[in-house]
A and B are shown apart, each in its own frame.
Chain A
């Protein structure tokens, strides 16, 4: 009898443990019956000023909705990309989270765990109609919208106006002129006239995406960026990689050992005259240093077959997980309201896709200039690492590092890319 009792107790204890383990996943499907509702919120700005901005907005929202508690988590760019993949694979997605557009969003959507927003948008057109329509495209797949665009962005060369003036250098109108300008700067004593934090794969991919768009016919790119038809056999890719390699020769030894933030600080401190940056970084540069800067788009490449004037950049936005509570939708609307957008641009300097969000009142002249460049851009090229499959992007990004350290050749990189593309086609 004693043994039997002992046996039963052990079974009971073990099963309690197991039950505890298996129920941990169910924390997402919270009931919203007037009790406390918990919303998991995940973004990618653990740095200031944006972290504080979201912390304040969360507090504001919680005050307006006393029954809502928002759990916030934030990690930087590259880590964010990894963490969100891990979360989606475990069906442990946060209720509200940031997402890039294009393939990044498409991959998330393919998990079947992202909420469709068409009905929600149709129900409240006052809110959804106040977002610049063109920006929805990167979040819409097969006519279903899965994300609400929030920030808009573009990439351009930021240059130190004072240094350019001192050395009588004009803003380059073509790639050849850019190289001339960099040579002149080198002669003037700037050992690394151009710099980039090449430890960040995404920074390399931004360069590649733009260069390919300049030298390769757009139709070829469209075909290659599609996993079902991509071959990457156009000789333009070799030329593009050579162009990138040429640019890295102006970056010196340090570039492969630093990150983009360090590179930006070097620019802001006036040590480096030219840096390829996002408009989103205007405020960071202004806060970190005291340089007067201007920007110019990546110039046209002589006899390049691509689009000479397109602007690289894509919106980022918010997504909801399938089992997010209704309060999360409220929170999403709150995050993308005109009022939030205005406060956001004022606090952070980042441009956004909400009509009326960016104005003279909320922004500085540099940002307004950038905003106009984005709105006027002839065409937009998505971020390369979001435009192609991640296995292809990875080869280009690691290859870019190896090009800069002289460990590989453009031909070797393209051989690997073609192999990976063939594998993707056959899947």
Chain B
């Protein structure tokens, strides 16, 4: 679109959006970067300029390293389960053989997506309960009670228990996105492949996977940035504990700001989270050389 001189109508139409984006996204973002150069408290109105010291603090903060590590684990497991497994699941659900059950199965897989995360966290608090929890009771039922653990109270299992709950909740959404994308693949492609003698697995890799490239890209982006931002799940289930073993960057940021009352450093952590997610998004856009639906 080329703007004719004096034609300001398009700009006027965009103005409210630009205004609101600026007001609620970009100005706070810049303000946050600015805040990370100050020492200030929730309770006080005065700010003290401390230069780069909050950023230096980031490099010696053991908790941030644990948190970053946990976010990386979160991302890797989420990509494996939510993107790759969800794609397989979607392909199975769209398979001729499963078509009859597909609507029911879709509802079942999608159900957790609609439940609020707080409710799910409470539910899983019960599942993981060391005494009366479903998980330990189930293990006992199978006769392998030696595997029973206080899942959320053990520093090695806590983060994985939290991640597992997220997967359970989110896989339905990603699966649905893949299903929509698979449904758009022209039938002729599958027919041609079948005539050429391709089996189900071959058809999946040679037709489905390349055809859902755009959806895969979007899902990867959603999952990875989601893993960097993850807050609710660890916050409600474990509050980052025991110790700091299930800490994530966002929980660490929240606690630094609102519990330890160090708003400057919390802003620094917020900037780190923003930079990480932006960098990951850019890398993914670059690698997949796309970013728009054609």
**A246 CA / B241 CA spacing, docked (Å):** 20
**A36 CA / B175 CA spacing, docked (Å):** 52
Binds B, one of A172-180, A252-260, A364-372: A252-260
- Return chain B residues, CB-CB under 8 Å to A405: 153-155, 242-243
- Asked if A257 and B43 sit within 8 Å, CB to CB, the answer is no
* Interface majority SS (helix, strand, loop, mixed), chain B: loop
- Asked if A257 and B130 sit within 8 Å, CB to CB, the answer is yes
Contact A257/B239 with A390-B259, A394-B259 known, Cβ cut-off 8 Å = no
Complex interface bits, B58-76 against A, C-beta within 8 A gives 1, otherwise 0: 0000000000000000000
- Return chain A residues, CB-CB under 8 Å to B277: none
- Return chain B residues, CB-CB under 8 Å to A85: 42-43, 258-259, 261
Which residues 138-177 of A sit at the B interface, judged by CB distance below 8 A? none
- Asked if A6 and B9 sit within 8 Å, CB to CB, the answer is yes
- Return chain B residues, CB-CB under 8 Å to A326: none
- Return chain A residues, CB-CB under 8 Å to B243: 398-399, 401-402, 405, 407-408
Contact A253/B130 with A85-B258, A111-B44, A391-B262 known, Cβ cut-off 8 Å = yes
Is residue B124 within 8 Å, beta carbon to beta carbon, of the partner chain?
no
A401's contact among B39, B42, B151, B241, by CB below 8 Å, is which? B241
Question: In the complex, how many angstroms separate the beta carbon of A228 from the nearest chain B beta carbon?
Answer: 16
Is residue A351 within 8 Å, beta carbon to beta carbon, of the partner chain?
no
Residue picked from B8, B238, B245, B258, most chain A C-beta under 10 Å: B258
Question: In the complex, how many angstroms separate the beta carbon of B122 from the nearest chain A beta carbon?
Answer: 12
Question: In the complex, how many angstroms separate the beta carbon of B177 from the nearest chain A beta carbon?
Answer: 33
B244's contact among A3, A81, A108, A398, by CB below 8 Å, is which? A398
- Asked if B42 and A88 sit within 8 Å, CB to CB, the answer is yes
Which residues 221-258 of B sit at the A interface, judged by CB distance below 8 A? 238-245, 255, 258
- Asked if B16 and A3 sit within 8 Å, CB to CB, the answer is no
Which residues 252-289 of A sit at the B interface, judged by CB distance below 8 A? 253-258
**A195 CA / B152 CA spacing, docked (Å):** 17
B16's contact among A10, A112, A399, by CB below 8 Å, is which? A10
**A402 CA / B155 CA spacing, docked (Å):** 8
* Interface majority SS (helix, strand, loop, mixed), chain A: helix
**A399 CA / B244 CA spacing, docked (Å):** 9
**A129 CA / B240 CA spacing, docked (Å):** 45
Contact A14/B241 with A82-B259, A391-B261 known, Cβ cut-off 8 Å = no
**A3 CA / B4 CA spacing, docked (Å):** 14
- Of chain A, the residue at the smallest CB distance from B8 is A3
A3's contact among B9, B41, B44, by CB below 8 Å, is which? B9
B242's contact among A82, A107, A256, A427, by CB below 8 Å, is which? A256
- Return chain A residues, CB-CB under 8 Å to B39: 427
Is residue B291 within 8 Å, beta carbon to beta carbon, of the partner chain?
no
Is residue A404 within 8 Å, beta carbon to beta carbon, of the partner chain?
yes
- Return chain A residues, CB-CB under 8 Å to B28: none
**A407 CA / B158 CA spacing, docked (Å):** 13
Complex interface bits, A351-392 against B, C-beta within 8 A gives 1, otherwise 0: 000000000000000000000000000000000000000110
Complex interface bits, A25-66 against B, C-beta within 8 A gives 1, otherwise 0: 000000000000000000000000000000000000000000
- Asked if A110 and B44 sit within 8 Å, CB to CB, the answer is yes
Question: In the complex, how many angstroms separate the beta carbon of A12 from the nearest chain B beta carbon?
Answer: 11
**A107 CA / B9 CA spacing, docked (Å):** 52
Question: In the complex, how many angstroms separate the beta carbon of B135 from the nearest chain A beta carbon?
Answer: 11
- Of chain A, the residue at the smallest CB distance from B11 is A7
Contact A14/B15 with A85-B261, A88-B43, A394-B259 known, Cβ cut-off 8 Å = yes
- Of chain A, the residue at the smallest CB distance from B238 is A199
Which residues 101-160 of B sit at the A interface, judged by CB distance below 8 A? 128-131, 149-155
Which residues 276-306 of A sit at the B interface, judged by CB distance below 8 A? none
Question: In the complex, how many angstroms separate the beta carbon of B50 from the nearest chain A beta carbon?
Answer: 10
- Return chain A residues, CB-CB under 8 Å to B19: 14
Which residues 19-41 of B sit at the A interface, judged by CB distance below 8 A? 19-20, 23, 39, 41
Is residue B12 within 8 Å, beta carbon to beta carbon, of the partner chain?
yes
- Return chain B residues, CB-CB under 8 Å to A401: 241-243
**A110 CA / B244 CA spacing, docked (Å):** 29
Complex interface bits, A194-215 against B, C-beta within 8 A gives 1, otherwise 0: 0000110100000000000000
- Asked if B258 and A257 sit within 8 Å, CB to CB, the answer is no
- Return chain B residues, CB-CB under 8 Å to A108: 43
**A402 CA / B240 CA spacing, docked (Å):** 12
Contact A256/B9 with A407-B243, A407-B245 known, Cβ cut-off 8 Å = no
- Asked if B150 and A107 sit within 8 Å, CB to CB, the answer is no
Is residue B260 within 8 Å, beta carbon to beta carbon, of the partner chain?
yes
- Return chain B residues, CB-CB under 8 Å to A253: 130, 149-150, 153-154
Is residue A13 within 8 Å, beta carbon to beta carbon, of the partner chain?
yes
- Asked if A256 and B261 sit within 8 Å, CB to CB, the answer is no
- Of chain B, the residue at the smallest CB distance from A257 is B153
- Asked if B130 and A254 sit within 8 Å, CB to CB, the answer is yes
Question: In the complex, how many angstroms separate the beta carbon of A409 from the nearest chain B beta carbon?
Answer: 12
- Asked if B154 and A254 sit within 8 Å, CB to CB, the answer is no
Is residue A86 within 8 Å, beta carbon to beta carbon, of the partner chain?
yes
- Return chain B residues, CB-CB under 8 Å to A399: 243
Complex interface bits, A232-266 against B, C-beta within 8 A gives 1, otherwise 0: 00000000000000000000011111100000000
Question: In the complex, how many angstroms separate the beta carbon of A30 from the nearest chain B beta carbon?
Answer: 23
- Asked if B260 and A391 sit within 8 Å, CB to CB, the answer is yes
**A86 CA / B263 CA spacing, docked (Å):** 11
Residue picked from B15, B41, B243, most chain A C-beta under 10 Å: B243
Is residue A89 within 8 Å, beta carbon to beta carbon, of the partner chain?
yes
- Asked if A254 and B45 sit within 8 Å, CB to CB, the answer is no
**A201 CA / B241 CA spacing, docked (Å):** 10
A7's contact among B8, B41, B153, B242, by CB below 8 Å, is which? B8
**A17 CA / B150 CA spacing, docked (Å):** 50
Contact A254/B260 with A107-B43, A199-B153, A399-B243 known, Cβ cut-off 8 Å = no
- Return chain A residues, CB-CB under 8 Å to B130: 253-254, 257-258
- Return chain A residues, CB-CB under 8 Å to B245: 402, 407
Interface contacts beyond A86-B42, A257-B152: sample of 14 additional A-B pairs, CB < 8 Å, sorted by A: A82-B259, A85-B43, A85-B258, A89-B43, A89-B263, A253-B149, A253-B150, A254-B153, A256-B242, A258-B131, A390-B259, A390-B260, A405-B243, A407-B245
**20 A-B contacts (beta carbon < 8 Å):** A78-B239, A85-B258, A86-B42, A89-B43, A107-B43, A110-B44, A111-B42, A111-B44, A112-B45, A201-B241, A253-B153, A254-B130, A256-B154, A398-B242, A401-B243, A402-B242, A405-B153, A405-B154, A405-B155, A407-B245
